[in-house]
Chain A
Amino acid sequence: DTAVSQTPKYLVTQMGNDKSIKCEQNLGHDTMYWYKQDSKKFLKIMFSYNNKELIINETVPNRFSPKSPDKAHLNLHINSLELGDSAVYFCASSPAKGLLNEQFFGPGTRLTVL
C-alpha cells in the first residue's frame, strides 16, 4: 500500500489555467506538507497543515491555495498558472507537528506550464 500518494504524477498545462494536485496519506499522521522542488533540485516548503489547521504558510503567491478536507488529505490548487510554476511538487506527512519525527514524502507531481 502506498503511504503518501499524489495525483496526478504528471501535469502539463497552458499558462493562465487553473489546476489542482491531490495528496492522500494512509499513515494516520496529523501533519501534512507541500514542498516545491525546482529544476536545480532546491527544496522549498510552501504550506503545512496539522489536523486541518494551517500552521505553516511561507511566502508563496496567493495563486496557490491549499485545502485540507480532513487530516488524511491535503490538496493544492493553483490559479492562473505561470511559467515559473513549473517544478516538482511533493506532498509529505509526519506523525506530529513537532519535528522530532521524520517526514514521509509522496512520489511527486511534475508540473509543466507551457
Chain B
Amino acid sequence: AQSVAQPEDQVNVAEGNPLTVKCTYSVSGNPYLFWYVQYPNRGLQFLLKYITGDNLVKGSYGFEAEFNKSQTSFHLKKPSALVSDSALYFCAVRDMYAGNNRKLIWGLGTSLGVNP
C-alpha cells in the first residue's frame, strides 16, 4: 500500500541549531514529494517539492530537503532554526495509482518547536 510516514510527532531544537524533520514514503514508481508547513490557526503553506532532478531541493524560508531513493526518504532540513519556524510540518506524496493521481497522500504531521 502507498503511504507516507513521519516517524516523529514532535521535534524540539534550540534556536540557531540545525533541524531535521523526517519523512519516509512507500509508493510504486518515481515519487512526487512535497513539504507543507502549518502555522498555528492558519492554512497550510507550500515549502518545497521534489519531482525530478537534483536530489537536494531548496524551498521557502531557508528550508531544503534531500531526496534519497535508496532509503525512500525525503527529510526536511534547515541549517539554523528560528523560533518563528515553530509550526506543524506535513510531508506528502502523490498517489501513484491510476485514476488516483490527482490527490496527495499526507503524513500525520510533525510538530516542530524551536526554543529561544
The number of chain B residues touching the other chain, given as a range, is 20 to 34
A99 touches B94 (CB 8 A): yes
A102 to B50 alpha-carbon distance, docked (Å):
11
Contact of B102 among A90, A97, A104, A105 (CB under 8 A): A97
Interchain CB contact under 8 A, A41 and B102? no
For A104, the closest partner residue in chain B by CB is B46
A43 to chain B, nearest CB (A): 5
A interface: dominant SS: strand
Using a CB-CB cutoff of 8 Å, which residues 55-101 of chain A contact chain B?
A: 55-56, 90, 92, 97-100
- Sample (23) of A-B pairs whose CB atoms are under 8 Å apart: A31-B102, A41-B38, A41-B88, A41-B108, A42-B109, A43-B44, A43-B90, A43-B106, A43-B109, A48-B103, A56-B103, A92-B43, A92-B44, A97-B102, A99-B101, A100-B32, A100-B51, A102-B49, A103-B44, A104-B46, A105-B36, A107-B42, A108-B42
Given contacts A43-B44, A92-B43, A105-B36, 5 further A-B pairs with CB under 8 A are A41-B38, A50-B102, A99-B32, A99-B102, A108-B41
Query: Chain A: residues with CB nearer than 8 A to chain B?
Result: 4, 31, 41-45, 48, 50, 55-56, 90, 92, 97-100, 102-108
